[in-house]
Amino acid sequence: MHDDTKRPRRSERRRPAPRRRSAQDISSLGPSTTSAESPRQTARRRTRAEKVVSPEAIRRRRRRLMTTIAVVAAVVILGSVIGAFAYIRNVGDKINAVFNKSPELAALLQQNQPSTPAEPFYMVLMGSDTRTGETQQRSDSLMIARVDPVKKKIQLISIPRDSRVNIPGHGTTKINAAAAYGGPTLVIKTVHELTGLPISHYVNINFRGFRDVVDAIGGVWVNVDRDIYDTQASAFGKKYATLKKGYQKLDGAHALTFARTRHFYAAGDYQRVKNQQTLVKAIASQALSMSNVFKASAVIDAVADNLDTDFTPAQLADLALQFKGMDSKNIESATAPSAPKYIDGVSYVVLDDAAFRDMIARMKKGQALEPATGSTEPTVTVKPSSFDVTVRNGAGVSGLGKQCADYLTAKGFQIKGTPGNMNQYVYGRTLIVYQKGHENEANFTRETLGFGDVIPSAGMYSFKTDVMVVIGKDWKNPATNSAQK
Q: Give residues with Cβ within 8 angstroms of 264, minimum separation 6.
A: 226, 228, 229, 230, 428
Residue 267 pLDDT > 90, yes or no?
no
| 384-484 fold | Alpha-Beta Plaits (3.30.70)
Average pLDDT over residues 252-276: 80
Q: Which of 60-64, 236-240, 256-260, 389-393 has the lowest mean pLDDT?
A: 60-64
| Kind plus residue range of the DSSP H or E element containing 110 | helix 103-110
Please give the CATH architecture assigned to the domain spanning 100-365.
Answer: 3-Layer(aba) Sandwich (3.40)
**How do residues 378-403 score in pLDDT, each as one tens digit?**
433 578 889 999 999 999 899 999 99
The confidence score (pLDDT) of residue 296 equals: 60
Q: 19 pairs with which residues across the strands? A: none
100-365 matches 384-484 in fold: no
172 three-class SS: strand
Burial of residue 198 (number of CB atoms within 10 Å: 0-12, 13-18, 19+): middle
Q: Which of 143-147, 185-189, 216-220 has the lowest mean pLDDT?
A: 216-220
Residue 224 pLDDT > 60, yes or no?
yes
Residue 207 φ then ψ, to 5°: -60, -25
Residues 254, 259: Cα–Cα separation, whole Å: 9
Which range is most confident: 21-25, 137-141, 187-191?
187-191
Residue 21 pLDDT > 50, yes or no?
yes
**Confidence band of 321 (pLDDT split at 50, 70, 90):** confident
**How do residues 428-442 score in pLDDT, each as one tens digit?**
888 999 998 888 888
Residue 216 φ then ψ, to 5°: -65, -30
**Confidence band of 132 (pLDDT split at 50, 70, 90):** very low
The confidence score (pLDDT) of residue 266 equals: 64
Residue 209 pLDDT > 80, yes or no?
no
Nearest to 382 by CA among 474, 321, 431, 445: 445
The confidence score (pLDDT) of residue 149 equals: 86
Whether 215 contacts 209, CB under 8 Å: no
Residue 190 φ then ψ, to 5°: -65, -45
Residue boundaries of the structural domains of the chain: 50-95, 100-365, 384-484
Whether 140 contacts 161, CB under 8 Å: yes
Whether 286 contacts 217, CB under 8 Å: yes
Q: Name the DSSP class of 239.
A: G
Per cent of the chain over pLDDT 70 is: 70
The confidence score (pLDDT) of residue 84 equals: 44
Residue 34 pLDDT > 80, yes or no?
no
Average pLDDT over residues 320-324: 76
Average pLDDT over residues 62-77: 53
CB atoms within 10 A of CB 93: 12
The confidence score (pLDDT) of residue 213 equals: 80
The confidence score (pLDDT) of residue 465 equals: 95
Residues 151, 330: Cα–Cα separation, whole Å: 9
Residue 129 pLDDT > 80, yes or no?
no
Whether 286 contacts 216, CB under 8 Å: no
468 three-class SS: strand
Residues 34, 79: Cα–Cα separation, whole Å: 55
Residues 412, 374: Cα–Cα separation, whole Å: 24
Mean pLDDT across the chain: 77
Residues 430, 475: Cα–Cα separation, whole Å: 7
Q: Tell me if the pTM is above 0.85.
A: no
The confidence score (pLDDT) of residue 141 equals: 81
The confidence score (pLDDT) of residue 295 equals: 57
